[in-house]
Amino acid sequence: MTYNMINGNRLFHTDEGPAADREGETLLLVHGATCDSHDWSAQIGAFSARHRVIAPDLRGHGRSSGLTGGQRPRDFAADLAELLDGVDAGPVVVVGHSLGALVASVLAVEHPSLVRAVVAVDPAYGFEAEFAPQLAAAFRVPDPVGTAAAVLGGLENTAEAGPEAEALRIQHRRRVLAMDPMTVRDVFHGLFDEAATPLTVRPGVEAYLSRRTCPVLSLSAADSLKAKGIDGDWEEALTRHPHSASVVLEGVGHWLFQERPAEFNALVLGWIDGLPPA
């Protein structure tokens, strides 16, 4: 476990797996909004058996402080770029979920020398234009935490029954409730207010994502794509590298990597194994 002072905040991360001079890629796991690196508990063991795995808590999330600076995707990406330089890592395969997938894409566009490939898991981009201002307005309330709990609760796979599925849903809700309200507000405004739309909303985001030159694997829940009004072909058309691919999973919610860890891990590790030489 390590804490680093980065851009005025104390950031937590773990660094596991083979040493940097061993064979294998270095993976950077980036969680979503109001989440933390615990989200990757079902991945870290499988991934670190073959690869170096760095799993941070973004500023203002989990064990990382958020006392200075903003809560926008570029702020998070700048922190991660400094972290990677500080731990002598890069280029890395960035595996990002939701907001983390957007942060991974910002890293790939604006810090390309640090990024070997991107795995975008149910990413927080590709929304219809009218959706963003409605959601941004929903967070201009005295209780942004309650709004976040409701919004994220709507992304759960409620069709999945049993104690494990229910425990995941409870874990997600309790974590949101523990967040600082102003951090929650700023994180979601950073995704959906007017300044954020070039990174999240169609058609403008298409131009931005097309600037990723590295391989991109997109893994999405079918229901998430349906809600956005797109399909798996949308992102595949924006990723020009020949090793890029798009996979759509049916019957899963937003945290698909937690619902089906064995399937997810096999898909990601198999795709990474096939990456062309750097």
Write out pLDDT tens, residues 53-101: 999 999 999 999 998 889 999 999 999 999 999 999 989 999 999 999 9
**What is the model's pLDDT at position 1?**
62
Q: For strand 216-221 and strand 52-56, is the pairing parallel, antiparallel, or unpaired? A: unpaired
Reported as a single tens digit per residue, the pLDDT across 157-210 is 988 889 999 999 999 999 999 999 999 999 999 999 999 999 999 999 999 999
DSSP string, 165-191: HHHHHHHHHHHHHTS-HHHHHHHHHHH
Which 8-state DSSP code applies to residue 195? G
Beta strands in 24-109 (DSSP E): 26-30, 52-56, 92-97
**What is the model's pLDDT at position 160?**
86
As a whole number of angstroms, the distance between CA 11 and CA 211 comes to 28
As a whole number of angstroms, the distance between CA 73 and CA 96 comes to 12
**Polymer length in residues for the chain:** 278
Alpha helix positions (H), 193-260:
197-200, 204-209, 222-228, 232-236, 256-259
What contacts 256, CB < 8 A, 6 or more positions away? 121, 122, 219, 221, 249, 264
What is the arrangement of strands in the sheet containing 245-249, beginning at the earlier edge strand? 2-6, 9-16, 52-56, 26-30, 92-97, 115-121, 216-221, 245-249
Element spanning 13, H or E: strand 9-16
Task: Look at residue 21 and tell me whether its pLDDT is greater than 80.
Answer: no
| CA 113 and chain centroid, separation | 19
Task: Look at residue 20 and tell me whether its pLDDT is greater than 70.
Answer: no
Element spanning 16, H or E: strand 9-16
CB 188 within 8 A of CB 132: no
Which pTM was predicted?
0.97
